[in-house]
Amino acid sequence: MTGLPTFLRFEVLRLLRNVRYVGITVGFPVVFYVLFLHNEHPEARIAGTTWKTYFMVSMASFGAMVASLNAGGTRLAAERASGWTRQLRVTPLPSWSYITTKIATSMIIVLPVIAVVELTGLLIGGVRLSPLTWAVLTLVLWASAFSFASLGVLVGYVASSETVYPLVTALMFLLSFFGGLFTPVPDLPVVLRHAAAFLPSYHYASLGWAVVAGRAPGAGDAGVLLAYAVVLGLAVTWRHRVDESRAFA
């Protein structure tokens, strides 16, 4: 058990040293925020807040998804292909430590990504919130990102090293677009508005939109994300056991 903190620190530092990963994870949401900030007037009202604030929450949510899917999905698939997971099996670390460390690493990386997007909103977008609202927004977006961390690990288990990049990219943009992160859900066609109600990305961002609008985060949104977290967690556990059984067969 004493090796788990060391393994977690190793995983986090390995990710932070990857310039491409850091650039994509932080760069995408920041660049999109700056590019699309003036698609509508920054002071235009939407969902009880201004467009500049609403879109900042959207891009923070997008950044959290990018961080989670890449940290768990692309890296895990590559490590399975390279034999790294087989090497770990001969260490004293328990078998479950690999997936828990991957999820924990994603959660750790998500926090600064959210903070960077918020800082961009403050400095470039002119977003003004009370210190308490900033803190609650950050905490809510960070804590509720667990389902995406689990999704990233699941993708890493089911995809090969050749297919994981297009799969992760497709998931990022499909969840973001159909979840209303780039275009507000009320502005989407009727069919897509109904589709958004089933996506974790919409309910995830809705928690943040409620906070910046001065409302309590919706219990329905939290319930949907919790359901996704449970289902994805069970799927990850099952897939890990299948992988372990094949290794020792």
Q: How high is the pLDDT of residue 84?
A: 66
Per the structure block, which two tokens stand in for 155? 């993708």
Q: How high is the pLDDT of residue 249?
A: 53
Please name the residues in contact with 117: beta carbons below 8 A apart, sequence gap of 6 or more.
29, 30, 33, 56, 59, 60, 63
Q: How high is the pLDDT of residue 1?
A: 45
Per the structure block, which two tokens stand in for 132? 């308490």
CB 236 within 8 A of CB 153: yes
Q: How high is the pLDDT of residue 211?
A: 96
- For residue 89, the tally of other CB atoms under 10 A from its CB is 12
pTM, entire model: 0.90
- C-alpha span between 21 and 52 (Å, rounded): 26
> What is the domain partition of the chain in residue ranges?
3-244
Mean pLDDT taken over the chain? 87
Q: What count of Cα atoms within 13 Å lies in the side-chain half-sphere of residue 30? A: 19
Q: What count of Cα atoms within 13 Å lies in the side-chain half-sphere of residue 2? A: 0
Residue ranges in the chain whose pLDDT is less than 50: 1-2
Q: How high is the pLDDT of residue 43?
A: 85
Please name the residues in contact with 220: beta carbons below 8 A apart, sequence gap of 6 or more.
203
